[in-house]
Amino acid sequence: MATQPTDREAGGAPERSPHGGPSEDRPGSPPVRTGRDADRLLLGALRHSAGRTTAICLLSCASAAAAVALPAVLGRTLDLALDSGDGPDGGAGLPRWLALCALLVAAEVLCDAATAYLTGVTGARSTAWLRRRGLGHLLSVGPHRAARFTSGDLVTRLAGNAAEAGHAPATAAGAFAALVTPLGALAALLLIDPWLAAAFCAGVPLLVLLLRAFARSSSESVSHYQRVQGRIAAHLVEALAGARTVAAAGTAGRERARVLAPLPELSGQGRRMWQVYGRAVVGSGVLVPLLTAAVLAVGGVRLAAGAVSVGELLAASRYASLAAGIGGITTQLSSLVRSRAAARRAAELLAVPPVEHGGRSLPPDGTGRLELRGVTAVRGGRTVLRDVDLTVPGGTTVAVVGASGSGKSTLAALAGRLADPDEGEVLLDGVPLAGLDPGVLRREVGYAFERPALFGATVGEAIGFGPREVDDRAVARAARAASADVFVNRLPAGYGTALADAPLSGGEFQRLGLARAFAHAGRLLILDDATSSLDSVTELQVGRALTREVRAGTRLLVAHRVSSAARADLVAWLADGRVRAVGPHEALWEIPEYRAVFAAGEADADGAAADPAGTAAAGEGAR
Ligand SMILES: Nc1ncnc2c1ncn2[C@@H]1O[C@H](COP(=O)(O)OP(=O)(O)OP(=O)(O)O)[C@@H](O)[C@H]1O
């Protein structure tokens, strides 16, 4: 058995990395250049939202310009108001300057509101773009390669990490604009009086050092934090998938401890992040008032010397705070650091190479001849199948048998290209599967699994779900062949019953999976342990219907029961990573080791062993 239901359903024998991240020891693993890949991904997101990002930039710059102009206009207004007491014309133009002040305040507020709206929209759209790309890529790499990530880790990457990375374009635009205000304020200080600008600039190197240290330490702890989050999510998904086993074993406490084991590490990294952030905020919090005070002190001296007016001093004090606002860029920087770390995790997913397909078709008159030539498959560093040669003539049914763990599911996955062999090739009607057009491949090769995943809103849709459209009659026919029609008709709305409202037993679930495979049967149908939950009578009925009522073609059945092997035209017996023998069941039955394969699996081994033709099928024990 493969490690967990989803792997089994995917038909692959995925390799797991013990730490839940990408497996680095896999042969053929891509080199993960995630730093550069992350930047490329963020640039892609930026290009995707170029229009909105530019608008954010322009609006933020307009708001910054209004903020920078306001102190000068206020200063001028103050000077005019002070002058108005000196003579009858002293206050001329004051109302206009007051109106300009009001206009600038209104412009700043409106620009900020529009920026906030666009920032939200851009973040959401970029996140959606990243998620679509990630999900599309994940589906294109195939179940075997995707299995290097655990489900929980994938959810974290596609949900949380994509959202964090998706905010990068808007944050970058905001950060750029956040520089405009301090730089504009510095320029204004320079214009009012160069000494004021010089007083401010004396403290700038300290501010730069502070920001650099922050960016470095923050990046490291944020990456670590996100990795630990992914690990917790992976454990949680495993625990939820195994909830029944955990409850039955009474190990809920132990499971909770396992899921939450990385929590102290997460909390440590969280504290470190806050410490780094806190240090930066305190640093800039101390530096900013000091800079403002220095500018004001120099401004006071210059006022006394008559080099600046009272209004200009008022403007200078405001410009000093605006220029010191460069320290506030820590917030944007922190957000960008998080986005980049998150983009790195999303880029790891995108670095997995997609399955490459050819564009070839199959000969129209092909019968479904399947050939495995020199096929080797390595799983977890162990060679599960070694140099396997197997030919299944078109239109025949071959049962693949062997002890548990002998590689039956691995072979079934390779036969329909749910995974590629590490060496050798698989051909269908003479065409290598790797060269086939993906549409042709999925139309002509069908699968049913031990634990199928059902998609669609209703039971009927779940059966009809597949590479081609099937009408209601075909759905009903397939359900009949899979012995599913009786229980489906008993459901409140028959085939129209919502899947969520259909209480299904394991065997009924399996029969819906079989019905789906039958409805879409192409020239090769692979049933990987897909009847294991059926009682012997139903299994016999399904076996017969498969020959008579489903589109004729080649069948490859992973079988554990004597009766399944006995009904097949040929049996391929796997042992020690090789095909030990291929032949009719009756002929193989003469070999004691072959009989022993079933003796271990059959509850009524004695009866079964004495019945090579499997005619005691109705009495054989379910596995
Ligand atoms: N992801 C994986 N990492 C490491 N080893 C794996 C992985 N998947 C499968 N294997 C190993 O490959 C071997 C073959 O697995 P496979 O599922 O093909 O066996 P099987 O014959 O179908 O077994 P069963 O009859 O129990 O279902 C097993 O020893 C299994 O432990």
Q: How many domains does the chain have?
A: 2
Distance CA 332, CA 53 (A): 15
Mutation probe of ligand 1 site: the residue of 406, 526, 578, 597 with most atoms within 8 A of C-beta:
406
Residue 358 lies in a domain: no
- Ligand 1 mean position to 262 CA, how many Å? 29
Distance CA 104, CA 77 (A): 13
CA of 406 to the centre of ligand 1 (A): 7
Residue 26: predicted pLDDT: 39
- What's the CA-to-centroid distance between 384 and ligand 1, angstroms? 8
> What spacing in Å lies between the alpha carbon of 128 and ligand 1's midpoint?
36
Q: Which of 315, 350, 385 is the last residue of a domain?
A: 350
As for ligand 1, residues whose beta carbon falls within 6 Å of it are 1-3, 13-16, 379-380, 384, 402, 404-410
Domain annotation covers residue 621: no
Compute the distance from residue 3 Cα to the ligand 1 centre, in Å: 7
Domain shared by 384 and 520, yes or no? yes
* Same domain as 507, residue 378: yes
Tell me: do 475 and 521 sit in the same domain: yes
- Given a contact cutoff of 8 angstroms between Cβ atoms, the answer to whether 557 and 398 are in contact is yes
The protein residue with its alpha carbon nearest to ligand 1, atom 11, reads 379
- Identify the residue whose C-alpha is closest to ligand 1 atom 2: 15
Q: What parts of the chain have a pLDDT lower than 50?
A: 1-32, 603-623
* Domain that residue 120 falls in: 32-350
Contact 464, 456 (CB under 8 A): yes
Instruction: Please provide the distance, in angstroms rounded to a whole number, between the alpha carbons at the two ends of the chain.
Output: 13
The single-letter code of the amino acid at 594 is: Y
In testing the pocket of ligand 1, which one of 409, 557, 579 has its CB within 8 Å of the most ligand atoms? 409
In a domain, 11, yes or no: no
CA nearest ligand 1 atom 18, residue = 407
Name the residue at shortest CA distance from atom 6 of ligand 1.
379
Residue 38 lies in a domain: yes
Closest Cα to atom 29, ligand 1: which residue? 405
The reply to whether 99 and 170 lie within a common domain is yes
User: Quick one: pLDDT at residue 601?
Assistant: 53
Whether 206 and 300 map to the same domain: the answer is: yes
CA of 581 to the centre of ligand 1 (A): 20
Residue 308, helix vs strand vs coil: coil
Residue 311 vs residues 130, 181, 196, 578: alpha-carbon distances, Å: 51, 20, 14, 91
Predicted confidence at residue 90, as pLDDT, reads 56
Placement of tokens 């299995």 in the chain: 147
128 & 251 share domain = yes
From ligand 1's centre to the CA of 229, what distance in Å? 29
Of the three residues 318, 350, 382, the one that is the final residue of a domain is: 350
Q: Are residues 88 and 54 in the same domain?
A: yes
399 and 539 share one domain: yes
Any domain includes 303:
yes
- Ligand 1 atom, smallest distance to 16 CA: 1
Residue with tokens 């239901």: 5
Ligand 1 atom nearest residue 147's Cα: 1
pLDDT tens figures, 89-131: 556 678 888 999 999 999 999 999 999 999 999 999 999 999 9
| Domain shared by 63 and 179, yes or no | yes
Tell whether 280 and 404 lie within a shared domain.
no
Residue of 495, 200, 424, 241 lying closest to 323 (CA atoms): 200
- Ligand 1 pocket test, candidate residues 26, 410, 580, most atoms within 8 A of CB: 410
Helices 310-324, 263-304: axis angle to 10 degrees equals 160
Please give the DSSP secondary-structure letter assigned to residue 388: E
- Give a yes or no: residue 3 inside a domain: no
Both 404 and 307 in a single domain?
no
Task: Kindly state whether residues 382 and 346 are assigned to the same domain.
Answer: no
Does 546 fall in a domain? Answer: yes
Q: Which H or E run includes 61?
A: helix 50-83
Residue 24 located in a structural domain: no
CATH number, domain containing residue 546: 3.40.50.300
Residue ending a domain, among 298, 318, 350, is 350
Report pLDDT for 483. Answer: 92
Of ligand 1's atoms, which has the minimum distance to the CA of residue 410? 18
